[in-house]
Amino acid sequence: MMIFRPRAGFVLAHPAHFLAFGFGVGLARIAPGTFGTLLAFPLWWLLGDAYPPLAFWILVAFFFAAGVWACSVTGRHLGIADHGAMVWDEVVAMLAVLAVIPQALGWQIAAFFVFRAFDVVKPPPIRYFERRCKGGFGVMFDDVLAAGYTLIVLAIAHRLLT
């Protein structure tokens, strides 16, 4: 079965596509979700210290809501509700993780790998919600759960190692 591979023209054709595809990062031929997760890092470094914590969390909530819209529209236009090239869900979830963890580079690298593992493996109940929640909300929500698991694992590691 051939999977539709969107091109730059599709991404630029609608603001929802541009956002859902992580400003085009989702066009990566290999591991677009990994590149979407990596996109969160420069955004964090740019925005993380620019806002007080409450304002940053409001921004993350706005990014989540915008992602629900963008992924709904883009999924409809693609005919595939959760196309692998839509990576805004990884961006938002990783931004939330980065806002909570210690700011040392080692913790950020660990967060990246732990998050990617949970996002790929989708342990219960992540896969359950991925199948049950439809549209843009479903696309965004399973990554929020993966972020939650990531924070639990890193909190345990922090407790054991420090």
**Cα(156)–Cα(134) distance, rounded to whole angstroms?**
32
Rounded to whole angstroms, what are the CA distances from 152 to 64, 115, 125, 155? 21, 11, 15, 5
Q: Is pTM, for the whole model, over 0.75? A: yes
Q: Give yes or no for residue 1 having a pLDDT over 60.
A: no
Going from N- to C-terminal start, the domains of the chain cover: 15-23+30-161
Cβ contacts of residue 132 below 8 Å, gap of 6+?
Answer: 138
22 CB-side CA count, 13 A: 30
Structure letter (DSSP) for residue 101: S
**Farthest CA pair distance, the chain:** 49
pLDDT in tens, 87-122: 999 999 999 999 999 999 999 999 999 999 999 999
